Structure 1
Amino acid sequence: MSMGHCSEQRTGFEVTKDWNGADQFAIRSPRGASVRAEKNFSRSDSSVGLSAQVCLHGGQVVSWRNHRGEELLFSSSKAIFKPPRATRGGIPICFPQFGNCGTLEQHGFARNKIWTIDDEAPPLNYGDNNSNKASVDLLLKPSEDDLKCWPHCFELRLRVSLSMDGDLSLISRVRNVNGKPFSFAFAYHTYLSVSDISEVRIEGLETLDYLDNLSQRERFTEQGDAITFESEVDRVYVGCPGVIAVLDHGKKRTFIVRKEGLPDIVVWNPWEKKSKTMADFGDDEYKQMLCVDAAAVERAITLKPGEEWTGKLELSAVASTNCSDHLDRPGRL
């Protein structure tokens, strides 16, 4: 798909029109890495080299590529890239609830709304060094319909950044502009692309307690040296460390997941039986994906009027062997 035939500069972003007239916003890093936010996204529109793509629909990262142009996030071949459906893949934002545990639609409404470019984002409040990053700032405020379903005034800001080394970071800030406290859950519902789920293991969650969503959220303790996959998994690991590793032996690649302000990790793979019940997911695509979500699910986050919460996720893709020795000094892919 063409990047567009017209462009203008607005507050540091390049604004263009794609072939169907949708706005898209481009920003580029010193090494040519790019972050692009757009109202519509097509699978045929992909960048090579270090890049990420962010849809204004859902404030959702839909692509993250390394310097060889390899896609690091999974998106279903049956995904629907059109509102009001959330896109099956990438990194949907789950807010203000996760799952079906509340009164709202599954995973909340943030992933189904059209966000805006946040021209007034205060960069110093994010606590990150952006001198070597390409970033885009998005903003979501409640609509009248949202307030009928969830009567709390908030501002949800999202900064998506790509470093010169290709690390992808997402920083979210939720501010209570309400006259009373409110509580919410939050998750970066991250679909990682893997060679084969049978070749994947997760390290860093050993001995932790988890809530098993396949057993009415019964609480168990992880007994294995690492998490491997032989059937459907849907778990919320609680009180997790700030860094975990997802090893893909088939691709000799390790995803390093770093998080702050998000105490839980959700691990999900639908496996064969459930995959066949999902209209926007291929029957065999469970083999090529794994969701590893930095989240705040077990205990809701509560904000008093005027308070603000920050949650951070950083993803790195590094060369790996059958161990996670690269956690301290990874070799970037």
Structure 2
Amino acid sequence: MGHSAAVWDYRAATEITKDWNGIDQVLLRTPRGSSARVSLHGAQVTSWRNEHGEELLFTSSKAIFKAPKAIRGGIPMCFPQFGNCGSLEQHGFARNRMWAIDENPPPLPGNDSSGKSFIDLVLKSSEEDMKCWPHSFEFRLRVALAADGDLTLISRVRNINGKPFSFSFAYHTYLLVSDISEIRIEGLETLDYLDNLFKKERFTEQGDAITFESEVDRVYLSSPNIIAVLDHEKKRTFVIRKEGLPDVAVWNPWEKKSKSMVDFGDEEYKQMLCVDGAVIEKPVSLKPGEEWTGRLQLSVVPSSFCSDRLGLDRSGL
């Protein structure tokens, strides 16, 4: 359906194609020209573009787009663990599995589909997964693109096990920035954080905003539901709104670590910043039949629009 049509057909705005490895991917589009791509490999958002066609997510030029390797960039999902511990692979297995399109998803609370182009995906525990993580689950993800270009990810994890289980989770969001040294994050000041560069020692953030001049690998705890990432050079701000995700992981590998990563360019740390809505410090526990929901909404506004009007004074969604 063309842009001139009186009513935009959101089903027609969802197209399934294949990437160059033959893996299905879903293209979401809006009448104004915004778009997002979601790969069935990991249910990973690999692209999010504004109405001018400008990419908003970082993907490394050296990323390996081949299962079972997770793609370096976009928004991979860390489940059932964040980080590296025990017998599970780094950041869990969800980002390395092939997901299916969910043809009959159970309804979301509220009206989360009106005026949006969206896709529903599902991952169910396989025999292979049960060997390393012996729990039966259903993980449903909706990726939605609103008419104004906002990108929303809604994850629902249900315990269909006979016993309780717990997990940690993160939307590992790689934002594309003009220059990391020109970036500041507002909304995390005064919070406690765990510093992964110092054996997860706990510190309190002292700055009035977070800025970057060296490697950062932190988990900010009990964070507000709105966080802003200001890109001074581009005069734009990423606004991150979240529900069910109390923690925020902030990561930039800087120069030395960049050179040690095979799927990351030596200088690419300058153009990226990971700011993840997450549940890390206190994992989610689900009894049989219980369901957890974690919601992330990303939008971009001109920086002149920011702080005071966003209600960064700890307001909710």
TM-score (norm 1): 0.86
Q: Given that residues 219 and 247 in structure 2 are in contact (C-alpha distance below 8 angstroms), is that contact kept between their aligned partners in structure 1?
A: yes
The equivalent residue for 2:181 is 198
The equivalent residue for 1:137 is 120
AA of the residue aligned to 1:94: C
Instruction: Say if 1:122 and 1:278 are closer, same or farther in 2 by CA, change over 3 A.
Output: same
CA distance in 2, matches of 1:149, 1:318: 42
The equivalent residue for 1:44 is none
CA distance in 1, matches of 2:111, 2:181: 36
Whether 1:207 aligns to 2:190 is yes
Q: Given that residues 320 and 326 in structure 1 are in contact (C-alpha distance below 8 angstroms), is that contact kept between their aligned partners in structure 2?
A: no
Whether 1:310 aligns to 2:293 is yes
Identity of aligned residues (%): 72
The equivalent residue for 2:166 is 183
Out of 33, 52, 55, the residue aligned to residue 68 of structure 1 is 52
TM-aligned CA deviation for residue 127 of structure 1: 3.3
TM-aligned CA deviation for residue 142 of structure 1: 1.4
Which runs of 5 or more residues in structure 1 are unaligned? 1-10, 33-48
Out of 283, 286, 301, the residue aligned to residue 269 of structure 2 is 286
TM-aligned CA deviation for residue 321 of structure 1: 3.6
The equivalent residue for 1:153 is 136
Q: Given that residues 175 and 273 in structure 2 are in contact (C-alpha distance below 8 angstroms), is that contact kept between their aligned partners in structure 1?
A: yes
Out of 180, 197, 215, the residue aligned to residue 232 of structure 1 is 215
Instruction: Say if 1:194 and 1:113 are closer, same or farther in 2 by CA, change over 3 A.
Output: same
Which runs of 5 or more residues in structure 2 are unaligned? 1-10, 313-317
Instruction: Say if 1:20 and 1:198 are closer, same or farther in 2 by CA, change over 3 A.
Output: closer
3-state SS of paired residue (1:276) = helix
CA distance in 1, matches of 2:15, 2:35: 15
TM-aligned CA deviation for residue 230 of structure 1: 0.5
CA distance in 1, matches of 2:152, 2:162: 32
Q: CA RMSD in A?
A: 1.9
Instruction: Say if 1:193 and 1:55 are closer, same or farther in 2 by CA, change over 3 A.
Output: same
AA of the residue aligned to 2:161: N
Residue range with higher mean Cα deviation, 98-107 or 153-162: 98-107
Whether 1:92 aligns to 2:76 is yes
Q: Given that residues 249 and 322 in structure 1 are in contact (C-alpha distance below 8 angstroms), is that contact kept between their aligned partners in structure 2?
A: no
The equivalent residue for 2:7 is none
Whether 1:120 aligns to 2:109 is no
Report how many aligned residue pairs link the two structures. 301
The equivalent residue for 2:280 is 297
The equivalent residue for 2:303 is 320
Q: Deviations over 1:125-183 (max 9, x none)?
A: 24343211110000001111100000000000000000000000000000000000000
TM-aligned CA deviation for residue 23 of structure 1: 3.9
TM-score (norm 2): 0.91
